[in-house]
Amino acid sequence: MGAALLLVGCGKMGGAMLAGWMAAGVAGRVVVVEPSGATGPLPDGVTAVRDPADIPADFSPAAVILAVKPQMMDAALPGYRRFAGDAVFLSIAAGKPIAYFEKHLGAEAAVVRAMPNTPAAIGRGISVAVPNARATSCHRNLCDRLLAAVGEVAWVDDESLLDPVTAVSGSGPAYVFLLVETLAKAGEAAGLPAELSMRLARATVSGAGELLRQSPEEAAQLRRNVTSPNGTTQAALDVLMAADGLAPLMERAVADATRRSRALAG
């Protein structure tokens, strides 16, 4: 039987996670709190309320999943402090450290902080999670099942690692989408019709990603497999792999995103 779950916030990420839990059978009784009331269609058996005061009195969740926007968290948390000591709190809010939740929920609160990414919407995300000292192995196992319903899961013990995690996987999908945009624009500049160039860029990036997912070979080996000496791919890689090419640019981008993540966490 699935676990009793309280989902706070049912936007795109919260909704995607809910769908994953229902499909995977990890959810039992589910109550959703969405202050805006705009949850969209919910699975059968899911109860939706707009205020924590409206949560059924007989409902005792095993996990409270915090999926509201970070700027809404201050107003949201007080309504759920009564569950501390019993439920584990799983937060997917960027920039809110464990200490923040312990301050607002009490020292007895079991907290797991996680950073998922947007491919969770199609069950292909990856989340990195870190527990606080109050989170037991049972709490961790439950959170692992909840996160695994929408993709891969990795665990770390050092919370500071979630800043570079945010920079690499949390923000990473935007880098890939930008690659598609720029590749398509470069194709246009080389003479391709805009529609065809975008079609080629989208299919190439998504297809290469799926090849990478399914192949046992490392990314570097897959790159070498498609690169003939003195061929067209090598000519392009000579530019992208130059001293001022993609590697230092990506390193600066990830470093800046990491610094911003730390700043947001205070």
pTM for this model (two decimals):
0.91
Give residue-wise pLDDT tens across range 81-130: 999 989 999 999 888 999 999 999 998 999 999 999 999 989 999 999 99
Residue % of the chain over a pLDDT of 70: 98
User: How far does Cα 77 stand from its chain's mean position?
Assistant: 21
Q: In this predicted structure, what is the pLDDT of residue 148?
A: 96
Residue 2 pLDDT grade (very low, low, confident, very high; cuts 50, 70, 90): confident
Q: In this predicted structure, what is the pLDDT of residue 36?
A: 73
Q: What is the mean pLDDT of residues 54-83?
A: 93
Residue 55: what are its φ and ψ, rounded to 5°? Answer: -65, 130
Q: In this predicted structure, what is the pLDDT of residue 11?
A: 87
Domains delineated in the chain: 3-162 (3.40.50.720), 170-265 (1.10.3730.10)
Q: For the chain, what is the mean pLDDT?
A: 94
Q: In this predicted structure, what is the pLDDT of residue 38?
A: 64
Q: Give buried/exposed letters for 1-26 (b at 16+ CB in 10 A, else e).
A: eebbbbbbbbeebbbbbbbbbbeeeb
